């Protein structure tokens, strides 16, 4: 390990800096990440040797400001890094330089890694100014352990996940190139559109906010594969504006207003990607200027309704469920359970928790309210659908099975993918003849409000029941229950942030005024019972 220590001196760890590998990997100010990137190159090599697979390293900070950056590792099937290895990542990133050989040796020993096993690492990056240099630091880490790498350069996060899955399945999931990604999705999209009733016709027009990020660049590359069916008008392409600055999915979701730089006309359908194109939200405005957001809950409802209808038409008895988080709007849960008769499960916040839960079903649909999500089909489900296509059955059943097969090919099952999800949504709206308004009217969201309360130490908050109830500090949950009873159709919960010393507060109620008031009162309770710092939370009005 002496060579590693010598090489690491070119990527020194800043004094007293401590970082934590979370759901989104490491994420902080870009200037602090050089040593982390180098060490994740080392860890990716060890993970590759352990799994005898290609491992991915994505350099991105997603929806964070342009000044930030981050890194996440991608496991063999395109999924997120195994939870047990998150601890290794954190230990490796925080080790002082002289400790590095020992920490590496400890991982090798604990995992019984054969160091003569060949390793392969695939690297991708977003469009941030810092990303190219930081990806070079990852490459240094791979080279330090004398291993092979492929630098895919500028890719969306979901594209790298797709490539990793393709490479580790010998191409069964698709061709492991960006052009292979474009061809697979475009073919599936066009196949779905071709199955629309002949009377529909016409071109799909869509406004897309690219968040001044990688998604805009890649959607522009893909456009030629989608014409003439889909016509995209791109805004915030990255030529002038800053990444995620007053634009992008997170901005639209949190601010509840259109991104800067988009000429929003009444009733026009628009969507926003985030910085690395793994989130998507839709929106439109009415003639009177009223803004409407269609977030991850609306997307999950549209997709699961479509799939459920196809399963019924095909006569397939597959176990399907929707997985949400505590942030899901109560109206979406009621609609899915009561009207569509689709079971709904709640998981902890964080895509890895939803993905894991969704794997328990034949078909698992999961979306966070922020627009990050996808659909997982079990191998058994895919085989049953293929089998139906080969059987002598009615035209209606065969057509439904064909549509299900195209839907499977159009969905990026490895991770939430803004481009893939956009194409799924557009195909469904086209096939069902729905406008964005009609989609929005499937159910009406309960008014809601989110606040955050700064505290001295977020660890004083402990939760249970998929983060919907608190167990610590004493008395806080009782106070929340008492406040919720004051308002109609209300609920509220609090959870500690995964990255900063703040507590996130969510409240919903029958009116916006009541949702705002409940969120404020719960924020006050958190401030007084969980060690709030600074000024007391103030009401919105």
3-state secondary structure 282-330: EEEECCCCCEEEECHHHHHHHHHHHHHHHHHHHCCCCCEEEEECCCCCH
Q: At what angle do helices 100-110 and 34-51 cross, to 10 degrees?
A: 20
Determine the Cα angle at 364 with ends 355 and 390, to 5°. Answer: 130
Segments in the chain below pLDDT 70 = 1-6, 198-201, 499, 541
Can you read off the two tokens belonging to residue 240? 């002038």
315 phi and psi angles, rounded to 5 deg? 70, 30
Farthest CA pair distance, the chain: 71
Same fold, 8-154 and 296-418+427-440: yes
How high is the pLDDT of residue 15? 86
Residue count of the chain:
541
How high is the pLDDT of residue 431? 95
541 is in an annotated binding site: no
470 is in an annotated binding site: no
Give the tens place of pLDDT for each residue, 300-317. 999 999 999 999 999 999
250 is in an annotated binding site: no
18 is in an annotated binding site: no
How high is the pLDDT of residue 476? 97
CATH number for the region 296-418+427-440 comes to 3.40.120.10
Burial bucket for residue 70 (CB in 10 Å: 0-12, 13-18, 19+)? buried
- pTM: predicted TM-score of the whole model, two decimal places: 0.94
499 is in an annotated binding site: yes
370 is in an annotated binding site: yes
498 is in an annotated binding site: yes
How high is the pLDDT of residue 199? 52
Strand order across the 230-235 sheet: 230-235, 204-209, 270-273, 280-285, 291-294
> Per CATH, which fold does 8-154 belong to?
Alpha-D-Glucose-1,6-Bisphosphate; Chain A, domain 3 (3.40.120)
Can you read off the two tokens belonging to residue 143? 């080279």
**Active site residue: 8, 53, 62, 509, which one?**
62
> Per CATH, which fold does 448-529 belong to?
TATA-Binding Protein (3.30.310)
How high is the pLDDT of residue 80? 93
216 vs 441: CA distance, rounded Å? 29
371 is in an annotated binding site: no
Domain extents in the chain: 8-154, 185-294, 296-418+427-440, 448-529
Sign of CA dihedral 57, 115, 53, 379: negative
How high is the pLDDT of residue 6? 59
How high is the pLDDT of residue 497? 85
CATH number for the region 185-294 comes to 3.40.120
Sign of CA dihedral 447, 434, 321, 272: negative
Q: Is 62 a catalytic residue?
A: yes
């Amino acid at each position: 390990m002496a060579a590693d220590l010598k090489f690491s001196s070119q990527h020194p760890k800043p004094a007293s800096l401590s970082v934590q590998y979370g759901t989104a990997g490491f994420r902080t100010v870009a200037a602090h990440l050089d040593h982390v990137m180098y060490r994740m190159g080392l860890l990716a090599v060890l993970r590759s040797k352990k799994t005898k697979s290609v491992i991915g390293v994505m350099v991105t900070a997603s929806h964070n400001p342009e000044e930030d950056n981050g890194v996440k590792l991608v496991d063999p099937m395109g999924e997120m890094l195994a939870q047990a290895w998150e601890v290794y990542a954190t230990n490796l990133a925080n080790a002082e330089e002289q400790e590095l050989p020992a920490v590496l040796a400890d991982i090798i020993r604990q995992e019984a890694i054969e160091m003569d096993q060949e390793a392969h690492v695939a690297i991708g990056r977003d469009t941030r100014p810092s990303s190219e240099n930081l990806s070079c630091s990852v490459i240094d880490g791979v080279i330090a352990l004398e291993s092979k790498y492929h630098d895919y350069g500028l890719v969306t996060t979901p594209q790298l996940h797709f490539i990793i899955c393709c490479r580790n399945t010998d191409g069964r999931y698709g061709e492991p190139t960006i052009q292979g990604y474009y061809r697979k999705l475009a073919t599936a999209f066009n196949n779905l559109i071709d199955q629309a009733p002949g009377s529909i016709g016409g071109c799909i027009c869509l406004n897309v906010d690219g968040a001044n990020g990688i998604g805009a660049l890649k959607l522009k590359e893909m456009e030629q594969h989608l014409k003439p069916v889909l016509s995209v008008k791109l805004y915030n392409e990255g030529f002038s504006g800053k990444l995620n600055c007053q634009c992008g999915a997170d901005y639209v979701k949190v601010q509840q207003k259109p991104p800067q730089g988009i000429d929003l006309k009444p009733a026009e359908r628009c969507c926003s990607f985030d910085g690395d194109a793994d989130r998507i939200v839709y929106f439109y405005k009415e003639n009177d200027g009223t803004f409407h957001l269609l977030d991850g809950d609306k997307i999950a409802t549209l997709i699961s309704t479509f799939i459920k209808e196809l399963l019924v038409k095909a006569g397939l008895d597959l176990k399907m469920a929707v997985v949400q988080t505590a942030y899901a709007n109560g109206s979406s849960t009621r609609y899915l359970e009561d009207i569509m008769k689709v079971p709904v499960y709640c998981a902890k916040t964080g895509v890895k928790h939803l993905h894991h839960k969704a794997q328990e079903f034949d078909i698992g649909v999961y979306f966070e309210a922020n627009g990050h999500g996808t659909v997982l089909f079990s191998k058994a489900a895919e085989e049953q659908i293929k089998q139906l296509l080969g059987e002598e059955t009615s035209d209606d059943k065969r057509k439904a099975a064909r549509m299900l097969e195209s839907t499977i090919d159009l969905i990026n099952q490895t991770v939430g993918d803004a481009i893939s999800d956009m194409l799924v949504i557009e195909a469904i709206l086209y096939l069902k003849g729905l406008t964005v308004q009609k989609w929005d009217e499937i159910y009406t969201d309960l008014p809601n409000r989110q606040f955050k309360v700064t505290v001295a130490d977020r660890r004083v908050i402990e939760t249970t029941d998929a983060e919907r109830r608190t167990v610590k500090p004493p008395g806080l949950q009782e106070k929340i229950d008492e406040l919720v009873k004051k308002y109609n159709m209300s609920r509220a919960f609090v959870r500690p942030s995964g990255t900063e010393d703040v507590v996130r507060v969510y409240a919903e109620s029958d009116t916006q005024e009541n949702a705002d008031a409940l969120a404020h009162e719960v924020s006050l309770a958190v401030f007084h019972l969980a060690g709030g710092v600074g000024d007391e939370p103030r009401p919105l009005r």
